[in-house]
């Protein structure tokens, strides 16, 4: 049986997308199957108190197909990923924190505008500063995670060269000539 062109394109897209800035998935409600996979494509995951995630693929006679399993292994390790996938276990906000799958449980739950406001405030601690530096930081971390060590080291050195002496570096030096 042949996949549809749309399914092939979706698979290609999910394998090659690299978000240039830091990303966060905010789970409010239930994220099952493909929704659970989508959360793994983000750098961070935040959940509301009543939310849950389940990788239900096995109940559908499937395995994740959009990169969710590979990313889950990188997020949690192979043993924990295998448990979540093979048991199709319910992961509530508390368990997600315990497993290292999510970074924080938000206090808001029902009001979407409050949930998003809280998530923005949480994310702001990682995204303050020049976008060029945040992009560079994301590139070196992605390289460190995905490339062999030697290639990651070369990438880091190359990216360092793009920010050294750049506007953000010069402004920082002018503000704080010495580190304390």
Residue 14 pLDDT greater than 50, yes or no = no
Q: Return the structure tokens found at 55.
A: 């990788």
Mean pLDDT over residues 138-156, rounded? 94
CA-to-CA distance for 99 and 76, rounded, in angstroms? Answer: 7
Share of the chain above pLDDT 90, in %: 76
- Residue 127 CA to chain centroid, in angstroms? 14
129 in the Ramachandran plot: left (φ > 0), alpha (ψ -120 to 50) or beta?
left
Task: State which fold the 5-126 domain adopts.
Answer: 2-enoyl-CoA Hydratase; Chain A, domain 1 (3.90.226)
What digits encode the pLDDT tens for the residues 73-116?
999 999 999 999 999 999 999 999 999 999 999 997 788 899 99
CA 69 to CA 143: how far, in whole Å? 19
Query: Can you give 103-120 as a three-state secondary structure string?
Result: CEECCCCCCHHHHHHHHH
Q: At residue 40, what are phi and psi to the nearest 5 degrees?
A: -75, -15
Asked whether residue 13 carries a pLDDT value surpassing 70, the answer given is no
| pLDDT for the residue numbered 1 | 42
Residue 170: pLDDT band with limits 50, 70, 90 = very high
Q: Where are the beta strands (DSSP E) in 33-121?
A: 44-47, 52-54, 91-92, 104-105
Domain positions in the chain are 5-126, 131-175
Question: What is the rounded CA–CA span in Å between residue 121 and residue 42?
Answer: 17
């Amino acid at each position: 049986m042949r996949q549809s062109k749309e399914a092939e394109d979706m698979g290609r897209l999910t394998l090659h997308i690299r978000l240039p800035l830091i990303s966060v998935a905010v789970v409010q409600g239930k994220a099952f199957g493909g929704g659970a996979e989508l959360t793994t494509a983000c750098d961070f995951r935040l959940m509301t108190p009543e939310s849950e995630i389940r990788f239900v693929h096995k109940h559908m006679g499937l395995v994740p197909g959009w990169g969710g399993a590979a990313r889950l292994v990188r997020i949690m390790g192979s043993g924990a990923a295998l448990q979540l996938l093979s048991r199709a276990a319910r992961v509530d906000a508390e368990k997600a924190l315990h497993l290292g799958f999510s970074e924080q449980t938000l206090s808001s739950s029902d009001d979407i505008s409050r949930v998003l406001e809280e998530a923005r405030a949480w994310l702001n601690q990682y995204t303050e500063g020049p976008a060029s530096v945040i992009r560079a930081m994301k590139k070196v971390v992605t390289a460190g995670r995905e490339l062999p060590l030697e290639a990651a080291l070369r990438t880091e050195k190359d990216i360092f060269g793009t920010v050294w002496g750049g506007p953000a570096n010069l402004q920082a030096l002018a503000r704080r000539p010495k580190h304390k």
